Amino acid sequence: MRIRPISLKTRQILAVIGIALILCGLSLKIGRRYAVLTKLFGAKQPCLILMYHNLTTDEAECGSVTVTQDRFRADIEWLKENGYSFILPQDLAEKKPLPDKPVMITFDDGYLSNYTLAYPVLLETGAKANINVIASIIDDGGYAVFCGWDQLAEMAASGAVEIGSHTYDLHNPATGGEVVPGGPNGVQKEESETVPAFEERLSADLSKSVELIEANVGKPVYCLAYPFGENDKPSRAVAEAMFPVTLCTYAGMADVYKYYGHNLPRNNVTMDTDLAELARLGHGWLR
């Protein structure tokens, strides 16, 4: 009996099926940890992340990093009325299943108003927030503008606040904390620095921030907010090995499956921000 050779077309189909099976197997294996299947098939887990710095009761003081306490309270109320659930970096770090509409409230720099004006609103409303502090400033006594360790510890103990790192002392201390156009800024590598020297300098700074926060606040640190949102490849390598969650400052909706927890975009809130519009648009910004 003559066996008919397998046609070229059949062989091609079999090859495609074989490759598809291998890819599926690989995706399943890796997917458990990195949600590759979710990524491949386009399903997304959007998380709205808002960024605040300072609060005030005087509208005249408002600007790019300062909003009124009333505005902050109104934002929290709007989020609650619209079905958002408040999450913290720890939830992302532990890869917890997220609620349908997660939102993460973040504050950078550790201003005293986070304790005097934001914290009471969090307690009133049941909302939660992440506060990222420049550990050297807090440790030096806060210069009366920033929180002290006791206030940070009290907020963290309440469960309403999670303290993260905004470095130990890499928030451009030479310029009084101001951004340098063209950089390097914050955790970025100096051009003249070798990579090993840079890695040593950055990990020493970040470790010091974590040790101080954990010792004084009594809770683990899960999150680093890059000063000015700036980073580069060598700094991301160091930071992502040390922190399960890293935060940037470019606007957008975080897709936590895609990034899983790293380089997450955040949306700065000013008095002019239309939160409803921001949330609506955000879903079109998923990257």
Binding residues for Zn ion (CB under 5 A): 108-109
Q: How far is the CB of 286 from Zn ion (least distance, A)?
A: 25
The CA-based diameter of the chain, rounded to the nearest angstrom, is 95
Our CB check for Zn ion shows the closer of 84 and 146 to be 146
Our CB check for Zn ion shows the closer of 27 and 167 to be 167
Q: How far is the CB of 242 from Zn ion (least distance, A)?
A: 18
Q: How far is the CB of 152 from Zn ion (least distance, A)?
A: 16
CA distances from 69 to 57, 188, 244 (A): 6, 33, 30
Which among 131, 138, 136, 142 is positioned nearest to 219, based on CA atoms? 131
Q: d(Cα 203, Cα 136) in Å, to the nearest integer?
A: 15
Pairing state between β 46-52 and 254-255: antiparallel
Our CB check for Zn ion shows the closer of 229 and 261 to be 229
Our CB check for Zn ion shows the closer of 238 and 247 to be 247
Tokens of 282: 């955000």
86, 103 Cβ separation under 8 angstroms:
yes
* 49: β partners: 104
Our CB check for Zn ion shows the closer of 109 and 162 to be 109
164 burial level (CB within 10 Å; 0-12, 13-18, 19+): buried
Q: How far is the CB of 227 from Zn ion (least distance, A)?
A: 5
Q: How far is the CB of 266 from Zn ion (least distance, A)?
A: 11
Q: How far is the CB of 66 from Zn ion (least distance, A)?
A: 13
Our CB check for Zn ion shows the closer of 91 and 109 to be 109
Our CB check for Zn ion shows the closer of 75 and 109 to be 109
Q: How far is the CB of 174 from Zn ion (least distance, A)?
A: 15
Q: Distance between alpha carbon 96 and the CA centroid of its chain, in Å?
A: 15
165, 137 Cβ separation under 8 angstroms:
no
Tokens of 155: 């907020």
Residue nearest to Zn ion (CB): 108
Which among 104, 118, 102 is positioned nearest to 66, based on CA atoms? 118
Residue type, 1: M
Q: d(Cα 30, Cα 22) in Å, to the nearest integer?
A: 12
